Amino acid sequence: MSTKIKSPFFVFNPKSYLYGEELLKLAKRADELAAKYPECSILVTVPFADIAAVKQTTEKIIVTAQHMDGIYPGRGIGHVLPESIYHAGARAVFLNHAERPMTVAALAQAITRAKELGIETIVCADSIPEAQAVAMMGADVILCEPTELIGTGQTSDRSYIEQTNQAIKAIDADILVMQAAGISTADDVYRTMELGADGTGCTSGITNADSPAEMLTAMVEALVKAHKERG
């Protein structure tokens, strides 16, 4: 199975809302959707302790770590070793999330280490200059997400989405652009993809839904529909 992220893609990011059996159930549902819609990539970000279990019970999703440090095997107690998450089954990683910010030097080193191991990088940026800087570092995916909109249910406006897309693609057309601020419904997914994003994702809109599995399904279906209609 290819673990190269392709457009369109959807990221289910349960953060620390889910773990253990509950997380495995939704990961399996995401895996079913990935098998049903092979034209898109579906990623599930997983707490470190659950990476191996999720990898062992799924086949089609890209298991994604929530963070890693740009270190090499050796000293570094309490840090997240890239080889460790790779061995556990992660083939992508989130870096510089608003809840886990990194210095420029640490981010650059983590991206370098990820490339050495073949781990796809999804790097967060909350402004256009920051997105441009991350593009220069060679991220595989850039998540353009104004920090003030995270978890608010308010999505980025058209101008922000279009401007960030253009700024990143001007530096490297192969970088995929993820827009996910405030995504809480399938309609939000559809609209964001319609505006030109390569992918999107969601946390609380799924974990807090009456039926998380049904909401995950509806969002992936909206992603596929918008991408097809966009041509």
Is the backbone peptide bond immediately before 8 cis, with ω within 30 degrees of 0? yes
CB 139 within 8 A of CB 111: yes
Structure tokens at 10: 């959807």
Catalytic residue among 21, 39, 83, 97: 97
Catalytic residue among 67, 120, 145, 227: 145
Q: What is the Cα–Cα distance from 30 to 8, expressed in whole angstroms?
A: 15
CB neighbours of residue 126 within 10 Å: 18
| 97 catalytically annotated | yes
Q: What is the Cα–Cα distance from 104 to 107, expressed in whole angstroms?
A: 5
| 39 catalytically annotated | no
Q: How many CA atoms lie within 13 A of 35 on its CB side?
A: 9
Q: What is the Cα–Cα distance from 70 to 80, expressed in whole angstroms?
A: 8
Helical residues (DSSP H) of the chain, grouped into ranges: 20-36, 51-56, 82-88, 104-117, 128-137, 158-171, 186-194, 204-207, 212-230
* Residues with catalytic roles: 97, 145
